[in-house]
Amino acid sequence: MLFLSALLLVLFSPFPSFAVTYNYSYSLLNRPGGSTYYRLSVSVTSSLYDYYQSKDHSTGSLSDLAKFVTPNALSPIADDLWSIYSSEEAFANGVLMIVHQIPYNESGPQKYPVETLVENEGDCDLFSFIAASIMKAGGLDVILLYYEELTHMNVGVYLLEPPSDARFDVHYFRYGGKRYYVAECTGDWNDWENGWRVGECPEEFKGVSAEIITLENCEQWSPEQVSSSLVEAASSTLTLQVSSKFVIEGMSVTVSGSISPISASENVTIYVSSDGVSWNFLEKATTNSQGHFSCTWKPRTAGTNYVRASWPGDEDYKGSDSAAYTVFVLPLYWLLAGVACIVMIIVLALIRPKKADSEAIFEETF
């Protein structure tokens, strides 16, 4: 009866649907006003997107906004940009070209860069989080600039020399004895080639004071990264299996799978969820020479649990997600109750024959 109840719960539990890889591409010039074009392809797994959607988005002060800067998650983009550009100014302008191609739309709550990339829209603060993330991932010294009286945000970029590609008078803010040049992240996505360059400042922000938000408290780690490539990346697939769909609370299941095409020494990220909506990082598993991976999972919550795997991809292949597997965790008291029932049945089975023998002896005596 207990097993049947558990089976029904698993069969009729809601199953999360995701298994989508989000793919976007951005045009780049070798320099502002240049004539050589590049095409940057970026893919984001749904697992990474769901992970950031599950994170805390609350802010209590301006300094809390630094947590929305996620350099590690976007570092593959920075790596590709450095293969195009040879100076920090050119690199920063390349980053601005990317954010200028994302359509502008007023947003409500703050969002992490991965969310904005996937949703392909945002406003000044969301674009600034992306720009600051990529610039910081690329080794640049950057800050966020918040113009309270105009409710606006952009980025400040430290450069050793004044920007040479700026078309107008350059503007900067001093902080810690350094000049942080203004990098305006909004613009017309249909005219990104003529967008703002490092050092250029929109007229309405000239002479306006800005609150400086430093990035010591930006995110230091992420479970996986986006994938980025300057060539057309091929698709990949990721499979996943679990050793059992039923497990007693406190016991473990084996999670395993493989990447196709076969890829060795790749990090696969395992995510788990107790509701199919909020996904948490479990651990990373490394593929062997056959592209296989495995790890052990001990579910912490009795009831319906979910597990899935994600591979971010690389220069040659786009990232991919596995299907999610449902695992029902039986409460420990169910096991104890089952053991108690079995013991009672055995005891009754042993007592009954003795009672029958006693009755037979009684009858023979009389």
Per-residue pLDDT for 256 more than 60?
yes
- Say yes or no: 324 and 344 in one domain: no
- Cis amide linkage into residue 163, ω under 30° from 0: no
Banded model confidence at residue 339, pLDDT cuts 50, 70, 90: low
Last residue of a domain, which of 183, 213, 243? 213
The pLDDT of residue 349 is 72
The pLDDT of residue 351 is 77
The pLDDT of residue 107 is 84
User: Which of 148-162, 282-296, 331-345 is the least confident region?
Assistant: 331-345
Packed helices 71-82 and 124-137: angle between N→C axes, nearest 10 degrees: 70
- Say yes or no: 177 and 156 in one domain: yes
Asked, for residue 326, whether it belongs to a domain, the answer is: yes
- Say yes or no: 94 and 171 in one domain: yes
Asked, for residue 218, whether it belongs to a domain, the answer is: no
- Say yes or no: 41 and 74 in one domain: yes
Asked, for residue 12, whether it belongs to a domain, the answer is: no
- Say yes or no: 309 and 243 in one domain: yes
The average pLDDT across 354-359 equals 55
By the 8 A CB rule, do 31 and 263 touch?
Answer: no
Tens-digit pLDDT profile for residues 7-21: 444 444 444 445 689
Integer CA distances (angstroms), 245 to 191, 299, 303, 326, in order = 53, 12, 11, 7
The pLDDT of residue 356 is 52
Tens-digit pLDDT profile for residues 280-328: 999 999 999 999 999 999 987 889 999 999 999 998 999 999 999 999 9
Asked, for residue 364, whether it belongs to a domain, the answer is: yes
User: Which of 128-132, 240-244, 289-293, 330-334 is the least confident region?
Assistant: 330-334
- Look at the alpha carbons of 206, 211, 216, 219 in this order and tell me if their dihedral is positive or negative: negative
Packed helices 88-99 and 124-137: angle between N→C axes, nearest 10 degrees: 140
pTM as predicted = 0.87
What is the tally of structural domains in the chain? 3
- Look at the alpha carbons of 186, 188, 189, 194 in this order and tell me if their dihedral is positive or negative: negative
The distance between the two most distant Cα atoms of the chain, rounded to a whole number of Å, is 122
- Say yes or no: 100 and 75 in one domain: yes
The pLDDT of residue 1 is 47
**Cα 307 to the center of its chain, rounded Å:** 15
Asked, for residue 9, whether it belongs to a domain, the answer is: no
Per-residue pLDDT for 65 more than 50?
yes
Angle at 29 between CA 24 and CA 34, to 5 degrees: 160
The pLDDT of residue 353 is 61
- Say yes or no: 61 and 167 in one domain: yes
Helices marked H in the chain: 2-11, 46-54, 71-82, 88-99, 113-119, 124-137, 332-365
Asked, for residue 307, whether it belongs to a domain, the answer is: yes
- Say yes or no: 39 and 101 in one domain: yes
The pLDDT of residue 23 is 95
Cα 93 to Cα 165: distance, rounded to the nearest angstrom = 9
Per-residue pLDDT for 357 more than 60?
no
Tokens of 262: 């076969």
Q: How buried is 350 (Cβ within 10 angstroms: 0-12 exposed, 13-18 middle, 19+ buried)?
A: exposed
Quote the radius of gyration of the chain (alpha carbons, Å). Answer: 29
Bridge partners, residue 283, by sequence: 270
Amino acid letter, 339: V
Place of tokens 């996937």: 118
Q: What's the whole-number average pLDDT of the chain?
A: 90
The CATH number of whichever domain residue 250 belongs to comes to: 2.60.40.730
Asked, for residue 4, whether it belongs to a domain, the answer is: no
Bridge partners, residue 326, by sequence: 306
φ, ψ of residue 92 in degrees (nearest 5)? -60, -40
- Say yes or no: 293 and 256 in one domain: yes
Asked, for residue 7, whether it belongs to a domain, the answer is: no
Cα 113 to Cα 129: distance, rounded to the nearest angstrom = 6
- Say yes or no: 314 and 301 in one domain: yes
- Say yes or no: 86 and 34 in one domain: yes
The pLDDT of residue 69 is 98
The average pLDDT across 142-161 equals 97
Kindly give the pairing relationship between strand 325-330 and strand 246-248.
Answer: parallel
Amino acid letter, 107: S
How many of the other CB atoms lie within 10 Å of CB of 276?
A: 19
- Say yes or no: 177 and 160 in one domain: yes
The pLDDT of residue 13 is 44
* DSSP E strand stretches across 197-248: 211-213, 227-229, 237-242, 246-248
The CATH number of whichever domain residue 123 belongs to comes to: 3.10.620
The average pLDDT across 32-51 equals 96
Banded model confidence at residue 272, pLDDT cuts 50, 70, 90: very high
The pLDDT of residue 170 is 97
The pLDDT of residue 301 is 80
Tens-digit pLDDT profile for residues 170-202: 999 999 999 999 999 999 999 999 999 999 999
Integer CA distances (angstroms), 315 to 96, 233, 319, in order = 22, 7, 10
Q: Which domain holds residue 340?
A: 335-366
